[in-house]
Chain A
């Protein structure tokens, strides 16, 4: 790897802490990902991306900035990448998945805050994340109460925080509100970049993002095969890289991987033997490098065949219909697309559990593991009804609540193994 120290310094990264972070990440990656058997060749690209995640990709972003492009960071799948691309901006997902800088974060936030929010603060306060530091604008979104109040405290810590409001119900009023918020967001983007969104630029952006999502939908469908052609860990990684890689290159790499997986499926080749217990993970998003739970599952004689998560199908399964000949009409199409997202912050939120059921059927899953981050009220509270509904539909379900620490790994492993023993009985 090239020496990026100067680049990091120029971004204001705490180089010493950052080196420790990269070393830890590299070790975890070797232990968890590179040790897997029968990995597809196509994963080499993603291994490369991870090895250069704070290097080459940041350099590309810096080069884009030098050409006058603006970098827009976001923490949630409700922030439309299409709009950022339409002003020729660079969109990066910032969700952080590591227990870093938590002491500093806990000086500003209650301890009983979900790890995702603490991590968002920890990465910023610890000056650890070159993505955060490279952003010209960071978009916050008023989803759960935790996030929306946290953004109030976050604002003075960053250069430019733009907060977007979000509806809580799937109603006409809610849809209207979302569209208005997106309209305001366009104004902000145009002001920031000095560029106007045109029908042409927006159509092109929609096509780019659609292509990226289509590749993910293709990948998701291939996992219905038994034996599973790719591990859940690898698929999760791809879902995580989805948020910060160059869109066109990413799409290309996923499609290439899918070509390979298609051959595998035809030849009945897989990462684990045919008949391995098949699990769907449903719930809170899993930001990099939060790999604890998938790792525990896949080292317990089971394979993950789908993620019902924002870092998973909830973030990728809908495309934007390209219809209309005005920016206004295209904005309608974008709003329609995003309004589908069935985050637990919506009330009521029946489409989410219906989708889990559908996934279980299509992917021939044996059971669902419901994952909530500790202190995440929307997902933890929803997990009760979700479990009930799934069990009533004869889909065995295990609810787990955890955070980014490793201290409960033993307990989690016992629960996961016991769940697998239950599934094998059938």
Chain B
């Protein structure tokens, strides 16, 4: 049997297909203004017996593809266990929100916290700051990794932080130091969110921002805990949804 999981996030749509408990294919695509169309495109030519949707657009998909839904929280819990059986906490920094989740020893959802309404500390925040510094996302992380000493960023509001960045550069700060300061601000905020759900155990780092190598290093420093990043952190939610699809009915 083949099971599909579709994760409709605010920035990307992800698809994962499982067969006999193995991940056989995965695809991602930018969400655009037409998430339903993107999901349909991703599913073109893909064979599966059952599908489950997750992500903020899950209910939209449910209405059109006639499949059950599960929240991102549960999807990340299941997905993280697929890649690592030893993690006890999951951090997902996505395009528009950040989630911290704790698991019990059997991998069941224990507690979760989410950031509030605004995009503070999310992938979107990083994008805006990278652009303000004239970096691509890859350059941005690399620059932060080579920085000497971080510049302190005081605001986590995307709009205020952007003007802070501009004025720091105008005062002569280096782009690299500012880049590191921004990464640190997000790492410490995420660590705070994580501490609210669990204070120890290995952390599984998922979502688009986990692709950023500097974030992982800083998170380990902030939390003094081991941080596991899967090979493709973006598809964890989709894999989790596919696992839910594979549950006996």
**Contact residues of A with B, CB < 8 Å?**
391, 401, 407-408, 410-411, 414-415, 417-418, 421-422, 425
Contact = CB atoms under 8 A, between A and B. Distances in A.
Contacts of B117: 407-408, 411
B73 A414 contact: yes
| Shortest Cβ-Cβ A-B pairs, 3 listed | A418-B73, A418-B71, A421-B74
Given A407-B117, A408-B117, A414 B108 contact: no
Contacts of A407: 117
Contact of A421 (B70, B97, B116): B70
Contacts of B73: 414-415, 418, 421-422
A414 B71 contact: yes
Nearest to A399: B113
B71 A410 contact: no
A411 B109 contact: no
A415 B108 contact: no
Contacts of A425: 108-109
Contacts of B160: none
26 contacts: A401-B116, A407-B117, A410-B56, A411-B97, A411-B114, A411-B117, A414-B56, A414-B72, A414-B73, A414-B114, A415-B112, A417-B71, A418-B71, A418-B73, A418-B74, A418-B109, A418-B112, A421-B70, A421-B71, A421-B73, A421-B74, A421-B109, A422-B73, A422-B74, A422-B109, A425-B109
Contacts of B114: 411, 414-415
A408 B114 CA distance: 12
A418 B76 CA distance: 11
A391 B197 CA distance: 12
Contacts of B74: 418, 421-422
Contacts, number: 36
A418 B73 CA distance: 6
Contacts of A401: 116
Interface residues of B, number: 15
Interface string B60-96: 0000000000111110000000000000000000000
Contacts of B108: 422, 425
Nearest to B76: A418
Contacts of A410: 56
Contacts of A421: 70-71, 73-74, 109
Contacts of B70: 421
Q: Of A407, A410, A418, A421, which is in contact with the most chain B CB atoms at under 10 Å from its CB?
A: A418
A62 B73 CA distance: 53
Nearest to A374: B116
B209 to A, nearest CB: 19
Q: Of B70, B111, B114, which is in contact with the most chain A CB atoms at under 10 Å from its CB?
A: B111
Nearest to B117: A408
Contacts of B109: 418, 421-422, 425
Nearest to A417: B71
A415 B99 CA distance: 10
B64 to A, nearest CB: 18
B125 to A, nearest CB: 17
A99 B74 CA distance: 33
Interface string B96-107: 010000000000
B29 to A, nearest CB: 21
Contacts of A391: 111
A410 B117 CA distance: 10
Nearest to B115: A411
A425 to B, nearest CB: 5
Contacts of B56: 410, 414
Contacts of B71: 414, 417-418, 421
Nearest to A418: B73
A400 to B, nearest CB: 10
A420 to B, nearest CB: 9
Contacts of A414: 56, 71-73, 114
Given A411-B97, A418-B73, 7 more contacts: A407-B117, A414-B73, A414-B114, A415-B73, A417-B71, A418-B74, A422-B109
A414 B7 CA distance: 14
Nearest to A410: B56
